[in-house]
Structure 1
Amino acid sequence: MELQIKLEPQVTGNIGLYYCCYRLSLLGWNVMPTARNARGVDLIAYNASGSKFIGVQVKALSKRNAVPLGTTLDKIMGDFWIIVNNVVTEPNAFVLLPSEVKKHAGCNKKDGKVSYWLDPPRYDQDEFRDAWHRIGSGLA
């Protein structure tokens, strides 16, 4: 039986954010969430020696949906993008570079308005699934 819980979007976002903190911490990174809903990355992580810093953008989804990217791809930032779907039942994480998000983004133009998104088949790929190794260890 699948668990059916309807969460507020902010709670869904929190689950994804703290799931990423947990997974990055297991890799030895010191992880800090940034100010919520502020422009910029969602997580800052630094290695054990403090010699390397990374910025991570997290997108959390309650199920296997498209990721909305907004009206321009210019705001895609950070060193890594982590998409976490199925956050309530069984989180799946996909680790992408910002360049890969831009490359795989879809675009819709309607009534003079432009919107970008990332469809599940474009991010839900073996090369991105649970690809925490792409970020590397924070122990160095």
Structure 2
Amino acid sequence: MSNERQLTGNAGVYHVARELSRHGWNVMLTVRNARGADLYAVSQCERIVQPIQVKAHSAKPNDVRLGLQPDALVTPWWVFVAHALSDSPACYLLSLDEIRQLMVRDPGTRSGKPDAQRAFWFDRRFCTPASDRERIDAREAWTRLGDPGR
């Protein structure tokens, strides 16, 4: 991983941790580059634990590769951070179910790969401010995770 990508990823994870803390969640970071969740948001009474995957981009988001078997993805919440290195990053909170509904598969028209080798992708436009497909309902939608005070 390049140093710039690592810094962007760190900035995104720490920004998400800050925002969650501001909204009343306790946050536990995981080991960077480990499989699975990047952090856990825990309610104040510790009855709600939300594993979260963070995808950060330094500028306009890129499409996110979900791999060949999206059914193997297990982290229930994802936060996409656009402009992670800027003074005003934009965060989009989506459930794994929403991501699976919105994902697309490489059609293979350019790559010529057979079905089993064509990856699934999440379109960057869902998490790009002012794009024609922006998920405005998911932008800065921290309440989607539940009430941290319960």
State the TM-score bracket (shorter-chain normalisation). Answer: 0.7 to 0.9
The 5-angstrom pairing of residues 1-140 of structure 1 reads: 8-64=4-60, 65-89=62-86, 90-108=88-106, 109=108, 110=111, 111-112=113-114, 113-123=117-127, 124-140=134-150
Q: Distance in 2 between matches of 1:71 and 1:92?
A: 28
Residue 58 of structure 1, CA deviation: 0.7
CA distance in 1, matches of 2:142, 2:68: 29
Counting aligned pairs with the same residue, the percent is 34
1:115 is displaced (CA, Å) by: 1.5
Per-residue Cα deviation, 1:3-40 (whole angstroms, up to 9, x for no partner): xxxx6111111111011100110111110111111111
1:75 shift after superposition = 3.1
Q: 1:107 deviation in Å? A: 1.1
TM-score (norm: length of structure 1): 0.87
Where is the strand percentage greater, Structure 1 or Structure 2? 1
Aligned AA (1:120): R
User: Which stretches of structure 1, 4 residues or longer, exceed 4 Å deviation after superposition?
Assistant: none
Cα-to-partner distance string for 1:48-106 (whole Å, 9 max, x where unaligned): 11121110111111122222222221232223110001111231100100001111112
Kindly tell me: are residues 27 and 137 of structure 1, through their superposed partners in 2, closer, same or farther at Cα, counting changes over 3 Å? farther
Please state which structure has a larger fraction of its residues in helix: 2
Corresponding position of 1:4:
none
Distance of 2:74 and 2:55 partners within structure 1: 13
- Whole-angstrom CA distance in 2 between matches of 1:19 and 1:99: 24
SS state of the match for residue 51, structure 2? Answer: strand
CA pair 82-16 structure 1, distance change in 2 beyond 3 A? same
Q: Which runs of 5+ in 1 are unaligned?
A: 1-6
Moved more, 9-18 or 59-68: 59-68
**Uncovered stretches (5+) of structure 2, i.e. residues with no partner:** 128-133
Please report the RMSD computed on the Cα atoms of aligned residues, expressed in angstroms: 1.7
Aligned length: 135
